[in-house]
Chains A and B, each alone.
Chain A
Amino acid sequence: MSNAIKAANTATRTHTGKVEKKEYMKHGWFWTILFALVSIAWIYPILLVVFNSFKQKIYISSQTFSLPNAKSWVGLSNYTDGIEKTDFISSFWWTVVITVGSVALILLCTSMCAWWIVRVDNWAAKGLYLLFLFNMIVPFQMVMYPLAKLTDMFSLNTPWGLWIIYLGFGAGLAVFMFTGVVKGIPSEIEEAAMIDGASVPRTFFTVVVPMMKPSIVSVAILETMWIWNDYLLPYLTLDGNKYMTISIAVQYLKGGYGAVDMGAMMGCLVLAIIPIVVFYLFCQKFIIAGVTAGAVKG
């Protein structure tokens, strides 16, 4: 009897569920039009920078909101100026090297460390875990000055050295997220693999890593967003005469000398935004999943 009611209930539920899906909200068009307008306003700041990047510099501050016209149009000269003044191409390259290297190293080392912490679970592992938790609440300004001195002292002031610094300072969140995942993986599977004669590293890479895949993608996205855009850490630690990142290059235009070259600035801003937009268009699904996972766990 009660089963019959339950069955009936589920039937109506799926039924209404289907109907609701097709039925749009009341006043739906009003909201769609409203949000369409808001969305255009939302991307307007970026469009404004794009328009201005084609204008001669004196028109950028004086007529910010007018489209480029015959008088103010300068073609791509703002871009060439910007690239030349900041050495943008090499800044872009170093940003790629730092980001890709750091993220790869973080993923490899912290996933191994997280597995070790969860499976060993002795006092050392527990202490280590608490230290990583502590790391997540410490703001960068707390360690900024000694860290800059230490990187110089150990000659870690290169893009490769920064891989280690990012692994060290960014370990907290990655270890935390990975330990959460490993705790949910039953250890029997690994035991079976080891009994079958697999070594410890082999067990990790062929049995555990495939099961951690979704979280690896999430951590990769979160760390990439952080490291790609980070300004202060590379600015303080990198040897500024040899290496710059995109953020440092943009800030350099401002801080360099006297009046800011607004033309070159607009060119650089657009060049800085393009790779991010491309990345976003291709990985939107993973990025949103990564952000959600990070928020739930963090």
Chain B
Amino acid sequence: MVTMIGKSIRRWWAVFALPTFAAFIIGFVAPFVIGIYLSFTKFTTITDARWVGFKNYRGVFSDPDFVHALIFTVAFTVVTTILINVLAFFVAYMFTRAMRGANLFRGVFFMPNLIGGIVLGYIWQLLLNGVLAHWGLSLTYKGIYGFWGLVILMCWQQIGYMMVIYIAGLQSLPSDVMEAAQVDGANARQTLFHVTIPLMMPSITVCTFLTVTNGFKLFDQNLALTNGAPSNSSEMLALNIYNTFYGRVGFEGVGQAKAVVFFIIVAVIAIIQNRLTTSKEVQA
């Protein structure tokens, strides 16, 4: 009988649902729809938009910087996803076993997450440039330096976050299954690979998804650490889109088309991820 209270609540839509919905229209729906429309036009402000069809989209893939940023972002995402998840899982695995000081270490590992991307970028710029200065180099010497600088920064920031999720997963593993493995004579390694990891698949998919999307959408850290230097060779997708909008006059339409392409990539990843999460879960 949801209907009885449902009916009385429904009449209160203006109080309960409307404020969020109105803000949602201004903050999301309207900009999203306008954004799709603008990607098919040439414009410098919203009001002077002129329809040009798919011209902007052709401009997207004929821009070598965008293609470079796409490759850079994919490579970055693959490397960070693997590194962060393997290391975070290892750390979580160690911390959930009886170890002196585990709580303190956990607190330390998590801390970098709370610091904003811009601040993180400048912290690591100081450290990495200080190290590279020994060889007379800097982060902006070559794109590859920026790449590994960003990888180190991301690992530092995100291992703690993923560790927390893995710890929660490890702590909620069914103890009877773990014991059954022990009773059956499985050693620690066999238990880890044949029992723990399969049971941890939900946590692993969540963390993989988070690291993949975080890697793809990375902006602040990229802006602060190298700002794409030298000559856009350490530029990632989000920064490339931003620079197309605000750095090149007359390319606003191409920028918006890039944003749509970017959105489609992120959405496809999210949908694939969702499928995997629901299919790969192992029942205990």
Contacts and interface: CB of A to CB of B under 8 A. Distances in A.
Given A49-B123, A166-B27, A231-B117, A200 B223 contact: no
Contact of A39 (B94, B109, B242): B109
Contacts of A254: 122, 224
B156 A42 contact: yes
Interface of A: 13, 20-21, 23-25, 28-29, 31-32, 35-36, 38-39, 42-46, 48-49, 52, 60-61, 64-65, 109-110, 112-113, 115-117, 119-122, 124-125, 128, 131-132, 135-147, 149-150, 154, 156, 164-169, 171-172, 175, 187, 190-191, 194, 200-201, 204, 225, 228-232, 246-247, 250-251, 254, 262, 265-266, 269, 272-273, 276-277, 279-280, 284, 287-288, 291-292, 295-296, 298
A246 B35 contact: no
Interface stretch (B55-63, B74-82, B100-108, B140-148): B100-108
Interface in B115-145: 115-119, 122-124, 126-127, 129-130, 133
Given A146-B46, A200-B9, A277-B111, A247 B24 contact: no
B223 A171 contact: no
Chain B facing A: main interface SS: helix
Contact of B262 (A42, A120, A142, A164): A142
Given A139-B263, A225-B114, A60 B28 contact: no
Contacts of B260: 142
13 contacts: A45-B123, A48-B123, A116-B17, A128-B21, A138-B266, A141-B263, A142-B260, A149-B45, A204-B16, A229-B115, A262-B126, A272-B115, A292-B164
Closest 4 CB pairs of A and B: A168-B27, A229-B116, A64-B130, A143-B31
B6 A164 contact: no
Contact of A135 (B9, B24, B114, B241): B24
Contacts of A265: 122
Contacts of A39: 104-105, 108-109
Contacts of A167: 19-20, 23-24, 27
Contact of B26 (A48, A132, A156, A200): A156
B167 to A, nearest CB: 8
B17 A142 contact: no
A132 B130 CA distance: 45
Given A143-B31, A145-B35, 7 more contacts: A28-B99, A112-B17, A113-B19, A119-B2, A119-B9, A139-B217, A146-B30
